[in-house]
Amino acid sequence: MAFDYDLFVIGGGSGGVRAARVASGDHGARVGLAEESRMGGTCVIRGCVPKKLMVYASEYPGAIADARAYGWDVKDGGFDWLKFRGRLWSELDRLEAAYRNTLKNAKVTVHDTRAEIVDAHSVRLATGETITSQHILIATGGHPVVPDIPGAELGVTSDAMFNLDRLPGKALIVGGGYIASEFACILNGMGVKVTQFYRGAQILRGFDDEARGHVSTAMQAAGIRIHCGTNPLRLEKVDWGIQVTASDGSTEVYDLVLWATGRAPNTKGLGLEKTGVQIGRRGEIVVDDYSQTAVPSIFAVGDVTDRVNLTPVAIREGHAFADTVFGANPRKADHELVASAVFTQPEMGAVGLSEEAARECGPVEIYTASFRPMQSLFAGREDRVLMKLVVCAKTRRVLGCHIVGPGAGEMIQMVAIAVKMGATKEDFDRTVAVHPTMAEELVTMRKPVRVA
């Protein structure tokens, strides 16, 4: 059978675009790609990139205050949200154009429309056209989840945060993950009065307990009201805003309510139920180590598979898929020891096991350093940095590293190389410190604070 394409990709996010580019540009496959929204996907258009730019914008009040402490004659001015938003939109347009040029240069045919799978080798576009392909790759990502409570439609999700017409005076963030915590810090830095509800005992579940406790304490010291063990029960529109009734019995009115209560894979409406592709209990597409589904011609990468939901991981999965299927180089994407960063204020970086997870594997030694960094200490701020190493007591291998402080994301990227290589505590000890830096503490901690 003659197919229209060797590969048809559904989804123009980071994973899908990488797979399409490599399959076509590097391996010579005939590739088509369908994207119903903007090219670049969640990360570029409504996630990581615009959010990080908002993080930068929200940090300037602190930088201005520090500048005065360092002798600069500077004065605070008002934050022009609309001016910032305009620059933000322009940057997203630039990035989308770059993604499109990448596909064009790789000779990928782009279809700006929704696609639905008909069978193992056929895709129907929303335009009515049916396309055949030897292989199909699903890279549709995920979407924010909104709780099923009365008045939930009065709230917004993270997708809408970059398009607000004005900043709220008072906001409620619902959720305790990295998206909720990052937006709580962003809005707080921009002068919004922020309250955060989380149903669990502590925000940032899944990260090291000591590290996330450090972040929570700093967020509250900055003025963010964090209410753990609390859920909204209903939302009601009133003349002066959105009235929220909470599970702790309180009632309060906010200008904005942000739902950051998790994300779910985009698998509905793709026609998968007709193909034999297996769907997991969370709505994710079930794949093997090579991203292949139960249907041999259909593959999936990225958040739609709900493995490690990070953009660089989706890119690795897409690249590995293209090399495996079209490059005669079978390889798996490596999901072990993936570093991550949470762009709260203070920032947190992590790689490897938390102290709690490591204890379940055997005896461990814990090394920590907590201190006031030079830059903010001089400015008179009370900020504290946390550096933490989790070490296997038997092999001496560093099982995990957790950093809370300015530049934690930048530092953890480099530490991840050492941890990935299997570095031991003694390897860290043999490394000469760079002084004066915060990161030097990672190689100067000599005695464990506890052994478990």
Supply angle C-alpha 159, 161, 167, rounded to 5. 165
Write the single-letter amino acid at 313.
Answer: V
Report, in this order, helix, strand and coil percent for the chain, each rounded to 5: 35, 25, 40
Strand order from edge to edge, sheet including 225-228: 156-157, 256-259, 170-174, 193-198, 225-228
Q: Which two tokens stand for residue 416?
A: 């991840």
d(CA 327, CA 330): 8
* Burial classification of residue 118, based on how many CB atoms lie within 10 Å of its CB (0-12 exposed, 13-18 middle, 19 or more buried): middle
d(CA 55, CA 190): 9
Residues 261 and 147: beta-carbon distance below 8 Å:
yes
- Which of 27, 121, 319, 435 is catalytic? The answer is 435
Burial 12-23 (b: 16+ CB within 10 A, else e): bbbbbbbbbbbb
Mode of pairing for the β-strands spanning 170-174 and 256-259: parallel
H/E run at residue 403 = strand 398-404
Residues 213 and 245: beta-carbon distance below 8 Å:
no
The question of whether 111 is a catalytic residue gets the answer: no
d(CA 254, CA 236): 10
Supply angle C-alpha 357, 363, 367, rounded to 5. 75
Q: Which two tokens stand for residue 158?
A: 């993270």
φ/ψ of residue 180, rounded to 5: -60, -45
Q: End-to-end CA distance of the chain, in Å? A: 62
How far are the Cα atoms of 147, 211, 284 from residue 268, in angstroms, in the given order? 18, 37, 10
d(CA 311, CA 328): 25
CA-closest candidate to residue 292, choices 284, 282, 300: 300
CA-closest candidate to residue 35, choices 51, 20, 50: 20
Active site residues: 435
